[in-house]
Amino acid sequence: MPTAKKETLSKHFGTWYRKVLIDAGIADYRYPIKGCGVWMPYGFKIRKYGLQILRDLLDSTGHEEALFPLLIPETSLEKEAAHVKSFEAECFWITRGGLNTLDVKLALRPTSETVITPMLKLWIRSHKDLPLKLYQVVNVFRYETKTTRPLIRVREVSTFKEAHTSHATFEESEAQIREATEVYKRFFDALGVPYVISRRPEWDKFAGAVYSDGFDTVLPDGRTLQIGTVHNLGQNFSKAFDVTYEAEGGKREHIWQTCYGISERWLAAVFGVHGDDNGVVLPPKIAPIQAVIIPIPHKEKGEKITETCIKTAKKLEDEACMRVKADLREELTPGSKFFDWELKGVPVRIEIGPRDFERKEAIVVRRDTFEKTSVKLDELVEYLQALMEKMSKEMREKALKWLHEHIHSAKSLAEVKTFLNKRAGIVEVSWCGETDCGLKMEQEINGKVLGVLQNVKEKVSGNCVVCGKKAQNIVRVAVAY
Amino acid sequence: MPTAKKETLSKHFGTWYRKVLIDAGIADYRYPIKGCGVWMPYGFKIRKYGLQILRDLLDSTGHEEALFPLLIPETSLEKEAAHVKSFEAECFWITRGGLNTLDVKLALRPTSETVITPMLKLWIRSHKDLPLKLYQVVNVFRYETKTTRPLIRVREVSTFKEAHTSHATFEESEAQIREATEVYKRFFDALGVPYVISRRPEWDKFAGAVYSDGFDTVLPDGRTLQIGTVHNLGQNFSKAFDVTYEAEGGKREHIWQTCYGISERWLAAVFGVHGDDNGVVLPPKIAPIQAVIIPIPHKEKGEKITETCIKTAKKLEDEACMRVKADLREELTPGSKFFDWELKGVPVRIEIGPRDFERKEAIVVRRDTFEKTSVKLDELVEYLQALMEKMSKEMREKALKWLHEHIHSAKSLAEVKTFLNKRAGIVEVSWCGETDCGLKMEQEINGKVLGVLQNVKEKVSGNCVVCGKKAQNIVRVAVAY
Q: DSSP labels for B422-450?
A: TT--EEEEEE---HHHHHHHHHHHTSEEE
Q: What is the DSSP letter of B140?
A: E
User: Among B326, B305, B304, B301, which Cα is nearest to B315's?
Assistant: B326
Residue A244 makes CB contacts below 8 A (sequence gap 6+) with A124, A238, A252, A253, A254, A255
Residue of A nearest to B37 (CA): A69
Cβ contact, residue pair B41, A65, below 8 Å: yes
Q: Kindly list the residues from chain B whose CB atom is less than 8 angstroms away from the CB atom of residue A91.
A: 97-98
What is the per-residue pLDDT for A83?
83
- The 10s digit of each residue's pLDDT in A307-363 is 999 999 999 999 999 999 999 999 999 999 999 999 999 999 999 999 999 999 999
Q: Would you call B327 helix, strand, or coil by DSSP?
A: coil
Q: Kindly list the residues from chain A whose CB atom is less than 8 angstroms away from the CB atom of residue B75.
A: 32
What is the per-residue pLDDT for B4?
62
Cβ atoms < 10 Å from Cβ of B440: 14
Per-residue pLDDT for B329 more than 70?
yes
In A, residues 347-406, which contact B (CB 8 Å cutoff)? none
Cβ contact, residue pair B66, A96, below 8 Å: no
Cβ contact, residue pair A44, B67, below 8 Å: yes
Q: How far apart are CA A327 and CA A317, in angstroms?
A: 15
Strand ranges of the sheet holding A361-366, from the earlier edge strand across to the other edge? A324-326, A291-295, A348-352, A361-366, A372-376
Q: Within 13 Å, how many C-alpha atoms sit on residue B270's CB side?
A: 30
Q: Would you call B354 helix, strand, or coil by DSSP?
A: helix
Q: How far apart are CA A282 and CA B77, in angstroms?
A: 37
Q: Kindly list the residues from chain B whose CB atom is less than 8 angstroms away from the CB atom of residue A44.
A: 64-67
**Interface residue of A96, A104, A264 to substitute, partner B, most B CBs within 10 Å:** A96
Residue B136 makes CB contacts below 8 A (sequence gap 6+) with B65, B66, B67, B68, B112, B161, B162
Q: Does A1 touch chain B (CB under 8 A)?
A: no
Residue of B nearest to A62 (CA): B41
- The 10s digit of each residue's pLDDT in B36-66 is 999 999 999 999 999 999 999 999 999 999 9
Cβ contact, residue pair B33, A106, below 8 Å: yes
Q: What is the DSSP letter of B59?
A: H
Helical ranges in B153-280 per DSSP H: 170-191, 236-240, 265-274
Q: Kindly list the residues from chain A whose CB atom is less than 8 angstroms away from the CB atom of residue B118.
A: 31-32
Q: Going by DSSP bridges, is the β-strand pair A100-108/A92-97 parallel, antiparallel, or unpaired?
A: antiparallel
Cβ contact, residue pair B91, A98, below 8 Å: yes
Q: Does A407 touch chain B (CB under 8 A)?
A: no
Q: Say which amino acid occupies B198.
A: S
Residue of A nearest to B33 (CA): A73
Residue of B nearest to A67 (CA): B39
Residue of A nearest to B85 (CA): A98
- The 10s digit of each residue's pLDDT in B352-405 is 999 999 999 999 999 999 999 999 999 999 999 999 999 999 999 999 999 999
Cβ contact, residue pair B94, A92, below 8 Å: yes
What distance in Å separates residue A70's CA from the closest CA in chain B? 8
Asked if ipTM goes beyond 0.85, one says yes
Per-residue pLDDT for A5 more than 90?
no
CA A282 remoteness from chain centre: 14
Total count of residues recorded for chain B: 481
What is the per-residue pLDDT for A15?
93
Cβ atoms < 10 Å from Cβ of A469: 14
What is the per-residue pLDDT for B122?
98
Question: Count of A–B CB contacts within 8 Å?
Answer: 146
Cβ contact, residue pair A36, B71, below 8 Å: yes
CA A363 remoteness from chain centre: 33
Cβ contact, residue pair A156, B66, below 8 Å: no
What is the per-residue pLDDT for B310?
98
In B, residues 150-209, which contact A (CB 8 Å cutoff)? 155-156, 158
Percent of chain B with pLDDT over 70: 99
User: Among B426, B414, B419, B466, which Cα is nearest to B450's?
Assistant: B426
In B, residues 207-266, which contact A (CB 8 Å cutoff)? none
Residue B324 has phi, psi (to 5 degrees) of -125, 145
Helix (H) or strand (E) holding B325: strand B324-326
SS (H, E, C) chain A: CCCCCCHHHHHCHHHHHHHHHHHCCCEECCCCCCCCCEECHHHHHHHHHHHHHHHHHHHCCCCEECECCCEEEHHHHCCCHHHHHHHHHHCEEEEEECCEEEEEEEEECCCCHHHHHHHHHHHCCEHHHCCEEEEEEEEEECCCCCCCECCCECCEEEEEEEEEEEECCHHHHHHHHHHHHHHHHHHHHHHCCCCEEEECCHHHCCCCCCEEEEEEEECCCCCEEEEEEEEEEECHHHHHCCCEEECCCCCEEECEEEEEEECCHHHHHHHHHHCECCECCCCHHHCCCCEEEEECCCCCCHHHHHHHHHHHHHHHHHHCCCCEEECCCCCCCHHHHHHHHHHCCCCEEEEECHHHHHCCEEEEEECCCCCEEEEEHHHHHHHHHHHHHHHHHHHHHHHHHHHHHCEEECCCHHHHHHHHHCCCCEEEEEECCCHHHHHHHHHHHCCEEEEECCCCHHHCCCECCCCCCECCEEEEEECEC
What is the per-residue pLDDT for A10?
80
Asked whether the bond before A41 is cis by omega within 30 degrees of 0, the reply is no
In B, residues 101-120, which contact A (CB 8 Å cutoff)? 105-106, 108, 115, 118-119
> B134 with B63: CB under 8 angstroms?
yes
Cβ atoms < 10 Å from Cβ of A453: 18
Per-residue pLDDT for B1 more than 50?
no
> B280 with B150: CB under 8 angstroms?
no
Residue A56 has phi, psi (to 5 degrees) of -60, -40
> B357 with B308: CB under 8 angstroms?
yes
Cβ contact, residue pair A143, B73, below 8 Å: no
What distance in Å separates residue A184's CA from the closest CA in chain B? 22
The mean per-residue pLDDT over the stretch B118-126 comes to 98
Q: What predicted TM-score, i.e. pTM, was given to this entire model?
A: 0.97
Cβ contact, residue pair B92, A90, below 8 Å: no
Average pLDDT, chain A: 96
Q: Exposed, middle or buried by CB within 10 Å (0-12, 13-18, 19+), for A227? A: buried
Q: Going by DSSP bridges, is the β-strand pair A27-28/B426-431 parallel, antiparallel, or unpaired?
A: unpaired
Alpha-carbon distances, residue B58 vs A249, B67, B88, B136, B385 (angstroms): 54, 15, 30, 11, 26
Q: Exposed, middle or buried by CB within 10 Å (0-12, 13-18, 19+), for A73? A: buried
Q: Going by DSSP bridges, is the β-strand pair A156-167/A132-141 parallel, antiparallel, or unpaired?
A: antiparallel
Q: Does B59 touch chain A (CB under 8 A)?
A: no
Confidence bin at A84 (pLDDT 50/70/90)? confident
- The 10s digit of each residue's pLDDT in B171-190 is 999 999 999 999 999 999 99
- The 10s digit of each residue's pLDDT in A243-260 is 999 998 899 999 999 999
CA A284 remoteness from chain centre: 16
Q: Does A25 touch chain B (CB under 8 A)?
A: no
Per-residue pLDDT for B213 more than 60?
yes
CA B345 remoteness from chain centre: 18
Cβ contact, residue pair B71, A100, below 8 Å: no
Confidence bin at B81 (pLDDT 50/70/90)? confident
The mean per-residue pLDDT over the stretch B442-463 comes to 95
Return the exposure string of A140-162: e unless at least 16 CB atoms fall within 10 Å of the residue's CB, then b: bbbbbeeebbbbbbbbbbbbbbb
Q: Does B92 touch chain A (CB under 8 A)?
A: yes
Q: Would you call B292 helix, strand, or coil by DSSP?
A: strand
Residue B421 makes CB contacts below 8 A (sequence gap 6+) with none
What distance in Å separates residue A68's CA from the closest CA in chain B? 5
Q: What is the DSSP letter of B28?
A: E
Q: How far apart are CA A159 and CA A145, in angstroms?
A: 20
Average pLDDT, chain B: 96
Q: Say which amino acid occupies B101.
A: T
> A187 with A53: CB under 8 angstroms?
yes
Q: How far apart are CA B289 and CA B348, in angstroms?
A: 9
Q: Kindly list the residues from chain A whose CB atom is less than 8 angstroms away from the CB atom of residue B156.
A: 69-71
What distance in Å separates residue A318's CA from the closest CA in chain B? 18
Alpha-carbon distances, residue A262 vs A54, A269, A401, B440 (angstroms): 10, 12, 23, 55
Q: What is the DSSP letter of B17?
A: H
Per-residue pLDDT for B3 more than 80?
no
Q: What is the DSSP letter of B278?
A: T
Per-residue pLDDT for A3 more than 60?
no
Q: Kindly list the residues from chain A whose CB atom is less than 8 angstroms away from the CB atom of residue B143.
A: 97-98, 100
Percent of chain A with pLDDT over 70: 99
Q: Would you call B203 helix, strand, or coil by DSSP?
A: helix
Q: How far apart are CA A104 and CA A113, in angstroms?
A: 19
Residue of B nearest to A64 (CA): B41
Asked whether the bond before B118 is cis by omega within 30 degrees of 0, the reply is no
Q: Residue A41 is nearest to which of B31, B44, B66, comparing CB atoms? A: B66
Residue A8 makes CB contacts below 8 A (sequence gap 6+) with A16, A277
Which of the two residues, B255 and B89, has the higher pLDDT score?
A: B255
Q: What is the DSSP letter of B150?
A: T
Q: How far apart are CA A378 and CA B456, in angstroms?
A: 59
Q: What is the DSSP letter of B458?
A: G
Q: Exposed, middle or buried by CB within 10 Å (0-12, 13-18, 19+), for B476? A: buried
Per-residue pLDDT for B256 more than 50?
yes
- The 10s digit of each residue's pLDDT in B390-440 is 999 999 999 999 999 999 999 999 999 999 999 999 999 999 999 999 999
Q: Does A30 touch chain B (CB under 8 A)?
A: yes
Q: Kindly list the residues from chain B whose CB atom is less than 8 angstroms away from the CB atom of residue A128.
A: none
Total count of residues recorded for chain A: 481
The packing angle between helices A380-405 and A265-274, to 10°, is 100
Residue of B nearest to A158 (CA): B69
What is the per-residue pLDDT for A1?
41
Residue B247 has phi, psi (to 5 degrees) of -75, 165
User: Among A97, A259, A161, A132, which Cα is nearest to B36's?
Assistant: A97
